[in-house]
Structure 1
Amino acid sequence: MLTYVFENNGVPMYEQLYEYLKDDITKGVLKTDEKLPSKRAFARNNGISTITVQNAYNQLQSEGYIYSLSKKGYYVANLCSIRKLRADTKISLDIKLPPASAECEINLSNNNIKPENFPFSVWSRLSREVMSQKSREVLTPSPTGGIPELRSAIAEHLKAFRGMLIDPNQIIVGAGTEYLYGLLIQLLGSDRNFCIENPGYKKLKSIYSQYGANCVFADIDRKGVTVQELNRVKAQIVHISPNHHFPTGITMPADRRYEILGWANETTDRYIIEDDYDSEFRLSGKIHPTLFSIDGCEKVIYMNTFSKTLTPTIRISYMVLPIELANRFYRELSFYSCTVSNFEQYTLSLFISRGYFEKHINRMRLYYMRRRREVIEQLYKSPLNDSMELIENESGLHFLLKLKTDIDDETIKRNLLVKKIRISPLSDYYMSGTAVSHNFVINYSCLDTKKLGKVFEQINLLLKNQPHNL
């Protein structure tokens, strides 16, 4: 007869009995199909009640450790696939993680936001307000496109700052633009030719391809993508950044914008995805109007994110669909749940509607203007001045640095990394064709300007020495 010692430690006796029996079963002390004592005999032998035994048996049976036969009793189940691991057992997983990036002291390719620039005090105050005054709403499932308060706040912001007159229901909120691209592919159809600017944002190729969409690449000139290129690659959906192209920094002029809109209106199956991701940070002159705001034929899908203006980790982006596509979205894809938590949506809606977002953008625009000026001044004062040319249009958070050298891009990149300096050549962003050499992307949003002098000296030394001497 099984006999166990029960302790007066606050743990119910049936739980102690359950643990004793489970331990003996998993260790093999109690064998498969072995009959367990009857409830009455087991209780009498251990000085406990039959209810205690019954509760323990019920728990073991519900978890599959034992089974019962009518009018015969309880038996140990076959648990050959279950093993009890010892406390010192080490778990080995055969998972291949991507290689970690080499450590570097300064990263000229980093486009993150400095933590100290996030408006923590305002955000935390609004968060507390949401928790105290919106407790019911926070726990109510969000509509598929996002809560009405946030969509209305975004619509008002776009009206005031981008001249866009839209219905809030045209706005779809999602956890990052990558998720929204996936929705667009499902909405427009993966059998279309999705066109990406070349050079351009390479992750787009991975996203579109992962969803089974065919990717084509259109070369750009000094004004951006051309209608001739779109026709050459047989594009149907073109993804462009007319206000500040990444990585070249080109701003598409008005005449080219109307040409692209005309191309989209030639057939019913063509659309333009307008990525306006860092348009808020044009540091001089007036921000150019969006393609969406000058489109009279419902051919432009507008995309933007709060990753540049607030922080990438907030993971809130949105798209504005033409009315016909918005109606199709709600007919065909409204079964999707909104991927942004209600808590963050309500906090962001207050942040925008109460004017904090406008103040934050104005403050950050001044901050980045000073930072850009400081980086460029250091560059002109450095020994590198005679060996470089600056390519910039005072928009966005990066510019191009053209180096006067015959050393290939990969060698420059590799040897600077040895010096713990990371830099990305423009050639890294080409997806086809012949890349433009010796142009490098300088992101300054998160640069430690105190170390720039050393960086420019190292680049200058590299240009003046043969690569094998470094």
Structure 2
Amino acid sequence: MLTYTFTNIGSDSLYQHLYKCIKNDILQGKLGTGERLPSKRPFAKNLGISVITVENAYEQLIAEGYIYSIPKKGFYISDLKREPLFSHTSKNKNIILSKPASAYIADFTNNQTDSQIFPFTIWAKTMREILNENQEQLMINPPCGGILELRTSIASYLQEFRGMHVRPEQIIIGAGTEYLYSLLIQLLGKDLTYGLENPGYPKTAKIYESFHVPYHYIDIDKEGISASSLEDQNISVIHISPSHHFPTGIVMPISRRYELLGWAARKTDRYIIEDDYDSELRLSGKPVPTLQSIDVSDHVIYINTFTKTLSSTVRISYMILPETLAEKYYETLSFYSCTVSNFEQYALAKFMANGSFEKHINRLRNYYQTKRDSILSTFKNSPLDKYITITEEESGVHFLMHINTPKTEEQLLLAARSKGIKLAPLSAYYNGFADSSVLNTYVMNYSSINLNNLDQIAESLYQIVK
């Protein structure tokens, strides 16, 4: 007869412990298919436990399918029709569930937001007000495009500060731009050919690949994408960042913008996805007018995000669909639930409507301008200055730094990493071989750089390149 010990069973009850013992013997093959288990009363007497304990253990095993009962005959081991679970081991024992703390004194590849710049006090106050005033609304599922209050606040903000006239119904809220891209692919169709800027943001290509849609890289010149190159590649949908191209930082001139709008207007299935990812952070002059604001043919899909202006961990983005596409979206994709929680939507709507967002943007610009100026001043006033050239520093939270050195990019990257500095070469954003003119040019994202380390950063870079 089966025998199990009931000492040191931890927090388990007696029946749970017995259930686990029998289950383990089944999974390890010690109890085979069709083998009869002891009757309840003799089994309980042999183990020194109550009959009800054995009954509860058997009932749990029956419920999970490990054993079955035949009336007036007993309990038997089920045929699991599989290998014992304990024979399987993980093929990858190094799965990373979270990123370790950075060991770098400066990570110029990181776009993480400084905690000191997030408006925690105002945001917490806004959240408390929402929890007190909007309790009923918080429990109602939002429309597929997001709550009307947030979309109205975004529409008002865009009209006042970006010169864009859109209806709230054209605005679709989503948890991150990657999610919105996936909606667009479903909305526009997988039979179209999509285009990406080269160089450009690498994640967009991965999204297109995951949906198995055809796409081509389109080389940019000093003014961005040209319409003739789109015609040559038979592109139907082109993704661009005209107000501050990533990663080169160039601004598309108005002549090229009208050229692209003309290209899109010539066919009904052509669209321009305008990614305006950091337009609010232009540090000098007014924000560059959007392509959407001068589009009269309804062929521009505008996308923006709050990850740059609030926090990299705030996964709230939005897209503005042309009128005809908005109607199609509600007809074909309205079964999707909005992926941003009501709590965050109502809080952000109030944060924008009461003027807190505008004040935060102004504070953010000043903060990043001071940070950028400190970095550039430290570099300029150090021996490093004669080895570097800084460009595209007027917009966003990154600039380009070319290093004049005979070392290869690989040598320089390894040397920098050995001194605790992580760099991102511009050439890494190209599909295929980058022109030699961009080699040893680095995309310097400074949003998370600790200014207390500036002298050490400048000295370390100087030691690497001198």
TM-score by length of 1: 0.86
C-alpha spacing 1:117/1:83, structure 2 compared with 1 (3 Å) = same
Helix, strand or coil for the counterpart of 1:130?
Answer: helix
Give, in angstroms, the shift of residue 252 of structure 1.
Answer: 1.4
The residue aligned with 1:112 is: 112
Question: What displacement does 1:316 show?
Answer: 1.2
Q: Provide Cα deviations, 1:81-111, integer angstroms capped at 9, x if missing partner.
A: 58697xxx99744266589899422122222
Structure-2 separation of matches of 1:282 and 1:356? 19
Cα distance in 2, alignment partners of residues 275 and 354 from structure 1: 26
Sort the Cα spacing of 1:23 and 1:282 in 2 relative to 1 into closer, same or farther, 3 A: same
Equivalent residue, structure 1, for 2:76 = 75
1:302·1:320 contact (CA, 8 Å) conserved in 2? yes
The residue matched to 1:379 in structure 2 has which SS? helix
- Distance in 2 (CA, whole Å) between partners of 1:295 and 1:183 is 22
In structure 2, do the counterparts of structure 1 residues 132 and 78 end up closer, same or farther at CA, with 3 Å as the change threshold? farther
1:161-207 deviations in whole A, cap 9, x for unaligned? 21222121211111111111111112112222211111111222222
The 1:63/1:444 distance shift into structure 2, 3 A limit, reads same
* Structure 1: distance between partners of 2:71 and 2:457: 80
Q: Which residue of 1 aligns with 2:449?
A: 447
Following superposition, the deviation at residue 240 of structure 1 comes to 0.8
Question: Could you tell me which residue of structure 1 aligns to residue 265 of structure 2?
Answer: 265
Cα distance per residue 1:220-270 (max 9 Å; x no partner):
222222222222333221111111111111111222211111111111121
Aligned residues of 2:303 and 2:319 also touching (Cα < 8 A): yes
Task: Give the distance between the partners of 2:122 and 2:357, measured in 1 at CA.
Answer: 10
The amino acid of 1:219's aligned partner reads D
Question: What CA distance in whole angstroms lies between the structure 1 residues aligned with 2:227 and 2:99?
Answer: 40
Whether the aligned pair in 1 keeps the contact of 2:23 and 2:61 (CA below 8 Å) is no
The Cα shift of 1:283 comes to 1.3
Partner residue, 1:318: 318
Alignment of 1:41-440 (within 5 A): 57-70=58-71, 72-78=73-79, 92-94=90-92, 103-392=103-392, 394-435=394-435, 436-440=438-442
Contact residue 401 and residue 442 of structure 2 kept, 8 A:
yes
Q: Do the aligned partners of 1:379 and 1:385 also contact (CA within 8 Å) in 2?
A: yes
Residue 463 of structure 2 is matched in structure 1 by: 461
**Partner AA of 1:448 in structure 2:** N
Which residue is equivalent to 1:23? 21
Matches of 2:127 and 2:397 in 1, distance apart?
29
Q: Which moved more, 1:308-317 or 1:31-40?
A: 31-40
Residue 286 of structure 1 and its aligned partner are, at CA, apart by 1.3
What amino acid is aligned across from residue 22 of structure 2 in structure 1? D
Residue range with higher mean Cα deviation, 178-187 or 31-40 = 31-40
Share of identical aligned residues, percent?
46
SS of 2:313 mapped into structure 1: helix
Post-superposition Cα deviations, 1:428-469, rounded to whole Å, max 9, x if no partner, equal 1111354222322122222122322333333333333xxxxx
Decide whether aligned partners of structure 1 residues 132 and 462 sit closer, same or farther in structure 2, where only a CA change above 3 A counts: same
Q: Cα deviations across residues 268-288 of structure 1 (Å, max 9, x unaligned)?
A: 121100000100011121112
SS class of match (1:128): helix
Q: State how many pairs are aligned.
A: 456
Distance of 1:369 and 1:336 partners within structure 2: 40
Deviation at 1:60, TM superposition (A): 3.3
Distance 1:129 1:83 in 2: 55
Partner secondary structure for residue 166 of structure 1: coil
- 1:111-149 Cα offsets, whole Å, 9 max, x none, are 221112111122223333334444443343332222222
Q: Are the structure 2 counterparts of residues 84 and 293 from structure 1 closer, same or farther at C-alpha, using a change threshold of 3 Å?
A: closer
Q: Which amino acid in 2 is paired with 1:457?
A: E
Shift in alpha-carbon separation, 1:394–1:91, aligned structure 2, 3 A: same
Give the distance between the partners of 1:215 and 1:4, measured in 2 at CA. Answer: 63
Which structure 1 segments of 5+ residues have no match?
465-470
- The one-character-per-residue Cα deviations of 1:267-317 (angstroms, maximum 9, x if unpaired) are 112110000010001112111211111111110000111111011111111
User: How many Å separate the matches in 2 of 1:189 and 1:97?
Assistant: 35
Contact 1:138 1:343 in 2 (8 A): yes
Asked whether the 8 Å contact 1:142–1:338 carries over to 2, the reply is: yes
Query: Following the alignment from structure 2 to structure 1, what is the Cα–Cα distance between the partners of residues 199 and 72?
Result: 76
Distance change in 2, residues 1:47/1:265 (3 Å): closer
Q: Partners of 2:297 and 2:303 in 1: how far apart?
A: 18
- Using the TM superposition, give the Cα deviation of residue 70 of structure 1 relative to its aligned residue in structure 2, in angstroms: 4.6
Q: Who is 1:468 aligned against? A: none
- Decide which moves more: 133-142 or 92-101: 92-101
**Aligned-pair CA distance for 1:25:** 4.9
Give, as a single letter, the amino acid of the residue that structure 2 aligns with 1:462. I
Q: CA contact under 8 A between 1:26 and 1:82: conserved in structure 2?
A: no
Q: Is the 8 A contact 1:22 1:60 kept in 2?
A: no
Q: Do the aligned partners of residues 69 and 282 (structure 1) sit closer, same or farther apart at CA in structure 2, a change above 3 Å counting?
A: same
2:384–2:458 Cα contact (<8 Å) kept: yes
Q: Distance in 2 between matches of 1:442 and 1:21?
A: 59
Distance 1:143 1:225 in 2: 36
